[in-house]
Amino acid sequence: MVGRSGDRENLKTKEVDFMGRLPFIAGNWKMNKTVEETLALVRELKGSLKEIKEVEVAIAPPFTALHAAAQELKGSSIHLASQNLFWEEKGAFTGEISPVMIKECGCQYAIIGHSERRQHFGETDETVNRRIKAALNHGLKVIFCVGETLQEREQGVNFLVVERQIEGGLKDFGELALQNLVIAYEPVWAIGTGKTATPQQAEEVHLFIRQKIRFLFSPKIADELRIQYGGSVTPDNIKGLMEQENIDGALVGGASLNADSFSRIVRFKEM
Ligand code: PEP
């Protein structure tokens, strides 16, 4: 069961939703912030999110700032994520970063398959699959990104694209792997464009993803899976998105670079 519509009113506060899914807000900093800037933002976030309990929070600074961020985050409930990783542990792979290194830096999560990786760096469903496997095998949790381009949406193939990305990215996975995985639905046309999907547009894809996971794995896994929305999330649109039955959080780009806007997104329940 995906949800009970009779409980819709209770969702307004979304402490823990229908299926006990803890809301999860993650900030993808992309190629922004030096080490010094990272430390400054982490300090601000630690202050503004000190009392946050019923929302899981993670930030993904660039590789170069992960270690420093982890040191600064000690004792805080904010989790740390890498923006990518390579599937091999070590070796002649110039310019790559292994899951072992990511773990050593203090990360709990890795973002895999972001559309900017797919678009600019040749990421495919197959390489996404290999990266997810490597991350999970090394004890990292994964934020697995999927989403269609504007052209694909206009051609009416958005569900097919998301379906293909899920089948490819999660190929040969068992139920156990899914317990440490979050899916982020990020329509490419909404990323960094200021054009957010409406809560209804996002919800219909989230519901589709959950049904797909139910079919591929099990009802239990589908009910427990957290699905984030990503694409121009701001303090002004987060509440409407989080009120949807199948939206369990957000992957935030631009608005995560500022402590005030990111904290207001995380504090969506207080609006
Ligand atoms: C992202 O990078 O994952 C993202 C959703 O970016 P933005 O919030 O800036 O659209």
Tens digits of residue pLDDT in 53-97: 899 999 999 999 999 999 999 999 999 999 999 999 999 999 999
**Cβ pair 149, 189 in contact under 8 A:** yes
195 pLDDT tier (thresholds 50, 70, 90)? confident
Q: pLDDT tens digit string along 237-251?
A: 999 999 999 999 999
How high does pLDDT run on average in the chain?
A: 93
- Domain annotation covers residue 99: yes
- Domain annotation covers residue 78: yes
Catalytic residue, chosen from 72, 79, 114, 245, is 114
- Domain annotation covers residue 6: no
Distance CA(54)–CA(145), nearest Å, equals 23
Catalytic residue, chosen from 56, 116, 186, 203, is 186
pLDDT at res. 139: 98
**Residue from 24, 30, 238 whose mutation best tests the ligand 1 pocket (most atoms within 8 A of CB):** 30
Ligand 1 centroid – CA 232 distance (Å): 6
Ligand 1 centroid – CA 196 distance (Å): 10
- Domain annotation covers residue 57: yes
What tokens appear for 23 in the block?
């809301």
Neighbours of 7 (CB within 10 A): 11
196 pLDDT tier (thresholds 50, 70, 90)? confident
Q: What is the pTM of this model?
A: 0.93
- Domain annotation covers residue 14: no
Domain count across the chain: 1
Distance of CA 242 to the CA centre of its chain: 14
Q: What angle do CA 110, 113, 116 make, to 5 degrees?
A: 110
Is residue 148 among the annotated active site residues?
A: no
Distance CA(189)–CA(153), nearest Å, equals 9
Distance CA(268)–CA(235), nearest Å, equals 7
1 pLDDT tier (thresholds 50, 70, 90)? very low
Distance of CA 34 to the CA centre of its chain: 22
Ligand 1 centroid – CA 164 distance (Å): 22
Burial degree of 257 (CB within 10 A; 0-12, 13-18, 19+): middle
Q: 72: domain range? A: 22-270
Distance CA(187)–CA(120), nearest Å, equals 16
Smallest CA separation from ligand 1 atom 6, residue? 253
Strand residues in the chain grouped as ranges (E): 24-28, 56-60, 79-82, 109-112, 141-146, 181-185, 226-230, 249-252
Distance CA(136)–CA(109), nearest Å, equals 9
pLDDT at res. 19: 73
Is residue 54 among the annotated active site residues?
A: no
Ligand 1 centroid – CA 115 distance (Å): 10
pLDDT higher than threshold 70 for residue 254: yes
Which residues are CB-neighbours of 183 under 8 A, at least 6 positions away? 143, 144, 145, 146, 166, 209, 213, 225, 226, 227, 228
CATH of residue 86: 3.20.20.70
- Mean pLDDT confidence for 48-53: 91
Smallest CA separation from ligand 1 atom 2, residue? 253
Neighbours of 40 (CB within 10 A): 14
Q: pLDDT tens digit string along 144-177?
A: 999 999 999 999 999 999 999 999 999 999 999 9
pLDDT higher than threshold 60 for residue 7: no
- Domain annotation covers residue 7: no
Distance CA(210)–CA(232), nearest Å, equals 22
- Domain annotation covers residue 249: yes
Q: Which atom of ligand 1 is nearest to the CA of 232?
A: 10
**Cβ pair 36, 50 in contact under 8 A:** no
pLDDT at res. 116: 97
Q: pLDDT tens digit string along 103-153?
A: 999 999 999 999 999 999 999 999 999 999 999 999 999 999 999 999 999
pLDDT higher than threshold 70 for residue 6: no
- Domain annotation covers residue 81: yes
